[in-house]
Amino acid sequence: MIQAFGLTSIPRKDLPPAVDDVSFEAGAGRITTLLGAPGAGKTTALGLMLELRQGRGVTHFRGRPLHRIAHPSREVGVLLGDVPGHPARTVRGHLRMLCAAAGVPVRRADEVLESVGLVGLHDERLGTLSRGMDRRLGLACALLADPHTLVLDAPSEGLSVRESRWLHDMLRAHATQGGTVLLTTDDPKEAARTADRVVTLERGRLVADQDAAHFARTRLRPRIAVRTPHAARLAAVLTKEARTARRSVEVVQDSGNRLSVYGTTCADVGEAAFRHGILVHQLADEVGDMGPGAGMAPPPAATGDGAAQDAPTGRAEPAARHAAHTAPQPDRAALAAPAPGIAHLPGTPPRTAPEPPAGPGPHPTAPSPGTGADIDPRAGAGADAPSGADAHRDADARPGAGAGAGADVGAGGRPGPVTDAAPPRAGSPSADRPAAAAAPTTPPAAAATPAPAAAVTVHPGGTAQDPDGRRAAVPASPLPPLPPPISVRPAPSPLRPLRYELRRATGVGTGFVTAAVVLVVSASTAALLAGVGHTPQARLLAAWPQQVPLPPAALGAGLLGALAFGDEFRHPALAADRGTVPRRLGLLTAKLLVSAAAALLLAFLTVGCDAEVLHLLYGRELARVPADWFPLAASWVGLVVGCAWAGVLAAGVFRSTTAGLAAVVAVPVAVVPLVHKVVEGADVRAAAGLPVRVREVFLLRWPFGGERRLAAAAHMIAQPVGSALMLSLTALLCAYVLTTLRSRVR
C-alpha cells in the first residue's frame, strides 16, 4: 500500500505551495484516484511521492520510502506523461533495453507486449505510435519489472472510449491480483466509474477522501437509466411532458436503446412509459453522470474454437484464461435467481413474481419507484419478445443476451451477477453438476416470469448493495490478462549496466551514421592532404591538418561519447523509476567502457581506410607503416579515447550533447595553449629518461620491451595535448562525482 504523510511542496516567491499538507492512503488491491481540476496539485503530489520534487513530507511504499528501496522499478511502476525514449528506437528494442537496466530476462519484453496488445507493432518506431499505442507501451514499461504498485499521471487523457476502457480494465486486473494502483484524473465521472477510493484535491489541499460510492452520491449528479427498444419515442414523450409541466428535465440518448434522464424520478419515467404503451427493459436510479454508454460493456464475440474475444485488444483467449483473472465466485446456489437479469445478493431469499396478465398483446412494463432490475421479456415463457429491428438492437446492446442472460450494469461499468436462464453448454461446470444443485429454488411459474425487483447497486470494487444496506461480493467481469509474474529475481550483476549501455548504443542508427560520416570525411581529407603535399605521414594517416584542432576521428569519438549521456537526458528512458537519469557510478563505468571500445574501433578503421585510399590513389609509398609506429599508435589511441571520455563526462555534468562536444573541442582550442605556456617542452625532455630512472630506483627490469611502452606513455602525457586532455578529464570526473553526491543527498 501507499502511505503519504504531510506532502508539502516548496513555495515560489509569494505564491502558496502547489501542495500543502496532503496525507492519504492507497490500499493494496484497490484503485485510488487523485481527483482535481488542472492546477490542483495532482502532478506535484506524485512528484513529491516519487522524490522527484523538493519539499516536505514522506511517502511509504509498503512501509519503505523510495530511496530505501534497492530496486525502485521492481516496487513501483511509473508512467508520467508520454513514454520517454528515443523516437527512432523500436518498441521491442526499447523494452529489451529496459529489461537489461532492470535486470529481468529479455523474454519479459515479449510477455508484456502480448499483454498490452502490441505484439504486431514490436518493430514500430516510438515516434510513429499513436496516443493509444503510446499509453499501451507506457503501461508495458511500468509492468516490465512486475511491480507491486502502479503510479500513473492522467493515463487516459486523450484516449478514446475503447482505449480508456481497456486501460482501466488492465488496472483493475492488477488491483484484483493484490497490487496497488494510484492514478490522477480531472474527470469526476472517470473517478467514480473506475476507482475504489477518490482523493479530491483543490488548490493544493485535501478536501475529500471518500470511497467511490460515497463520492458518487455526494459529488455527482443523479440520473435515471432507461433501456427500451423505443428510446427515441420515450425521449420525445418525456421532453413533451416536462415542457407541458414546466419542469427542468434533460433527456440524453446515450447509444442504441439507452436513455439517461436527469431532473426526474423513476416513478415519473415509469408512469409516462406506461401511459403511452412503451416497453421498458431497465429502469434504475444511477448516482453519477457516467457519460454515454459508460455502463455498457461490449458483447463478447464467440470465436471458432470456443474462445472469448477480448474487445479492447482484439485477441482471442480461452475461457479458462479469462476465468483466471476474475474475482472469486460466490456459491451459485446462493446466487440462483427466479428470472434472468434480476440480481440477488447471496444469502437473501429469492423473490417471486406474479403471473403475467392473460391475453395477447404487449404488456408495457412500469416498475415501481426505486426499482432497477434489468428485465428481459424474451426469457420467460409467458412474456412477449420484441421482434424485428428492435430485438436485434436490444441483443446488440445487452452483453450475453444471445445466451439468455441479463446483467445489471452499475456505476462501475462492469456487469454484475448474471443468472443463467438457458441450458448450460456441454462440458461447462454447471452442466456437470447434479440437476438438484443447478435447479432454481423458486416455483416453476415464478421462474418463468420476469418481475420487478429492488435495485442492486454494483460498486467498482466488486461488491453489491441492496436497498437494505447489505453488501456482498459479486462475480467480476473477465479482465485482460496481465503478464506472468517473475518467479525468480536475478541477483545484482555488475554486467547489468554494461548490457543496458550496449543495447542503448546499438538500438538506434545514430552511432553507425556518425562512424560512416567520420570514415568518409577522414578518407577525403587524407586524399586532399596527400595531393597538396607538405604533410607528415603520421598526420596524413590520421587525416589531421595542421590548421585543424582535432582530426575527424577524435571529433567523431567525442560526439559518440557525448551522445551516451546526451540521449539519456533528451530521451530519458531510465527516468521511469526516479524521474531523472540516475547518476550511478556503475552506469558511468559502463558508458566509459562502451565509448572507449567504440573510439578504438573508430580509430583503427579510420587509419585503415585512410591508408587504403592513399595506396589506391598515390601508391604504396604514402601508405607504408612509420618506423616509430608504436609511440604514434599510443598517442593516437590516447587522443581518440580521451576525446570520447571527455564527451561522456561533459554531457553527464551539463546534461547536453552539445555541451559534451563543446568540451571536447575546448581542449585543443583553450586548454592546450594554457598548458603549453606552463610546460614549454621541459616535461617532454624529462619524460624521455623516466623508464631508466624508475628502474634505478625500484631495481625493476622491464620485461617484453616495457621500457619502450612506458616511455611512449610518458611522452604522450607530457605533450601539451595529452596534458590538457588529462587535466580536462580529471576536472570533469570530479564534477561528475560531486554532482552524484549532491543528487544522493537531496
**Which of 11-25, 304-318, 614-628 is predicted with the least confidence, judged by mean pLDDT?**
304-318
Q: Is residue 190 within 8 Å of residue 165, measured between CB atoms?
A: no
Pairing of strands 31-35, 250-255: unpaired
Contact yes or no for 481/325 (Cβ under 8 A): yes
Assigned C-alpha cell, 654: 551539463
- In terms of C-beta density within 10 A (0-12 exposed, 13-18 middle, 19 or more buried), how is residue 113 classed? buried
Q: Which helix (H) or strand (E) holds 458?
A: strand 457-458
Look at residue 670 and tell me whether its pLDDT is greater than 80.
yes
| Predicted local confidence at residue 74, as pLDDT | 87
Residues 6 or more apart whose Cβ sits within 8 Å of residue 698? none
Rounded (10°) CA dihedral 185, 190, 194, 195: 50
Tell me how far apart the alpha carbons of residues 481 and 187 are, in angstroms, rounded to a whole number. 27
Name the band, by pLDDT with cuts 50, 70 and 90, for residue 575.
low
CATH code matching the domain that covers 2-219, chosen among 3.20.20.105, 3.40.50.300, 3.30.413.10, 1.10.3720.10: 3.40.50.300
Cα–Cα separations (whole angstroms), residue 291 to 373, 378, 564: 20, 28, 48
pLDDT band at 136 (very low <50, low <70, confident <90, very high): very high
Give which of 186, 209, 181 is closest to 197, Cα–Cα.
209
CB-based contact 535:625 (threshold 8 Å): no
Closest CA to 500 of 109, 96, 138, 126: 96
Q: What is the pLDDT of residues 337-393, one digit of tens each?
A: 333 333 333 333 333 333 444 444 444 433 333 333 333 333 333 333 333 333 333
Residues in the chain: 746
Can you list the positions of beta strands (E) in 228-281? 250-255, 258-262
Residue 321 has pLDDT above 70, yes or no: no
Comparing C-alpha atoms, which of 707, 704, 681, 705 is closest to residue 693?
707
Q: According to the model, what pLDDT value does residue 300 have?
A: 38
Quote the percentage of the chain above a pLDDT of 90: 38
Q: What is the mean pLDDT of the chain?
A: 73
Q: What is the pTM of this model?
A: 0.65
Q: What is the DSSP string of 99-158?
A: HHHHT--THHHHHHHHHHT-GGGTTSBGGG--HHHHHHHHHHHHHTT--SEEEEESTTTT
- Provide Rg for the chain, Cα atoms: 36
**Within a 10 A sphere around the Cβ of 331, how many other Cβ atoms?**
9
In the prediction, which pLDDT does 283 show? 92
Give yes or no for residue 314 having a pLDDT over 70. Answer: no
| Best CA proximity match to 688, nearest among 722, 717, 715, 719 | 715
CB 79 within 8 A of CB 576: yes
- Whether the per-residue pLDDT at 332 is higher than 80: the answer is no
Contacts of 260 (CB under 8 A, 6+ apart): 223, 224, 225, 226, 251, 252, 254, 289, 292
Helix (H) or strand (E) holding 598: helix 585-618
Residue 28 has pLDDT above 90, yes or no: yes
Q: How confident is the model at residue 547 (pLDDT cuts 50, 70, 90)?
A: confident
CA distance 350 to 336: 8
CB-based contacts of 720: which residues, under 8 Å, 6+ apart? 672, 675, 676, 679
Ranges of CATH 3.40.50.300 domains, the chain: 2-219
| Run of H or E including 181 | strand 180-185
User: Which residues have C-beta within 8 Å of that of residue 46, sequence separation ≥ 6?
Assistant: 34, 52, 80, 151, 153, 182, 184
Which whole number is the average pLDDT over 20-26?
94
626 Cβ contact partners less than 8 Å away, ≥ 6 residues apart: 537, 538, 632
pLDDT at 655 over 60: yes
Contact of 4 with 57, CB cutoff 8 Å: yes
pLDDT at 441 > cutoff 90: no
pLDDT in tens, 207-225: 999 999 888 877 887 788 8
pLDDT digits (tens, 9 = 90+) for 689-712: 545 555 555 455 555 555 555 555
Task: Give the largest Cα separation in the chain, rounded.
Answer: 123
Phi/psi for 562 (5° steps) reads -65, -35
pLDDT tens sequence across 54-110: 899 999 999 999 888 888 888 999 998 888 789 999 999 999 999 988 888 889 999
What DSSP state is assigned to residue 384? Answer: P
pLDDT bracket for residue 438 (50, 70, 90): very low
Nine cell digits for residue 576: 521511469
